Amino acid sequence: MGRDESTVTNARSLAEHHITPQLGHLTVRELTADDCERWLEGRAEVLATKSLREVRSVLKRSIDRVMRRDERVTRNVVQLCEVPTGKRAGRPSKALDFAHAMQVLASAERAQSDIRQYVILALLTGARTEELRKLTWSHVVAYDKGRGQWRPVHEAGWVHEEFAVYVWRSVRARGDTKTKKSRRTLKLPRRCVVALRDLWASLPQPLDPEALLFPGEAGAVRGAMTVLRAFRREVMAPAGLDPDAWTPRELRHSFVSLLSDSGMPLDKIALLVGHSGTQVTEKVYRQQIRPVIQDGAQAMDLIFPNPN
């Protein structure tokens, strides 16, 4: 209930391919812990560890639902089974180094579609792809010195010194960001401002403030695969990098790594990327670290100065 459609689709697929064919001949009351262990060991030959955890979770939740309806089922035997190591490890995170990030940035700035702005924002703000795909123009704001307040660009215009984005939504269920800490406001580096100003100028005016920055067909949320294909075809291949080796989410990893290498402390980076603490930032996203103080947009302006 309330789960994202892609989550439901993935769970259904796991059940149809990895639960029903192997365990469907048993009733829940007949199922034993030994059955579950043999099943998990068999699936470990074809699934990665992450997928094994997911398929075990699907079976566990299914039995939990049966237990709520059938008093004769008194325990969930799946809880007695550990997840074995899968066939292969999950795809390791990686990040662009500075030289390759410059190649990607230059390639993005030559792109003829709005993948230009998408990649620039992803690399220089660290926003998640699910957040960028739900970003609306009403959440792009400028600081109006005369009024002393932040105002959406459709009201304030582009003749200002400071701009920011409200990263308050995502394509997840109910439109929420991944966690409460993920809901954040990010000042924009100058390259992002220039890119978004150009995108705004290319669109028919007046523009609906609630229109998406990166819409799909008929103004709907753009699909992740559509973004991936454009990213690889229009940015990574022209940049001279293997397009199949990179995905848009690694722009976020690169953001963390580049800030870390430039000297920003880990706790500040964690705030910028919307992590509740530094553990995920350190273990998953950071590729290297050297301790000095900087601010997000200021650091990116120093790393990637606007050529104009």
Q: Domain 5-80, what fold?
A: DNA polymerase; domain 1 (1.10.150)
| Catalytic residue set | 128, 178, 252, 275, 285
Q: Which residues pair with 164 in a beta bridge?
A: 141, 187
Q: How far apart are CA 245 and CA 168, in angstroms?
A: 30
Rounded to 10 degrees, the C-alpha dihedral 271/274/275/281 comes to -80
CA-nearest of 305, 308, 245 to 105 is 305
CA-nearest of 242, 220, 205, 230 to 94 is 242
Sheet holding 184-187, edge to edge: 149-152, 140-144, 163-167, 184-187
Q: How far apart are CA 260 and CA 100, in angstroms?
A: 16
**pLDDT for the residue numbered 278:** 42
CATH topology identical between 5-80 and 98-303: no
CATH architecture, range 98-303:
Orthogonal Bundle (1.10)
**pLDDT for the residue numbered 89:** 56
Is residue 227 within 8 Å of 129, Cβ to Cβ? yes
Give pTM, 2 decimals.
0.66
Q: How far apart are CA 148 and CA 156, in angstroms?
A: 12
Structural domain boundaries in the chain: 5-80, 98-303
**pLDDT for the residue numbered 295:** 59
Q: How far apart are CA 301 and CA 191, in angstroms?
A: 8
pLDDT per residue of the chain (308 residues) written in tens, 0 to 9: 456 676 778 888 888 988 999 888 988 888 888 888 888 888 888 888 888 888 899 999 998 888 888 888 888 888 888 888 877 655 667 899 999 999 999 999 999 999 999 999 999 999 988 899 999 999 999 999 999 999 999 999 999 999 999 888 777 655 555 556 677 888 899 999 999 999 999 999 899 999 999 999 889 999 888 999 999 999 999 999 999 999 999 998 898 888 888 888 777 877 777 655 444 344 444 444 333 333 577 777 888 887 76
- For residue 165, how many other CB atoms are within 10 A of its CB? 23
pLDDT digits (tens, 9 = 90+) for 71-113: 888 888 888 888 888 776 556 678 999 999 999 999 999 999 9
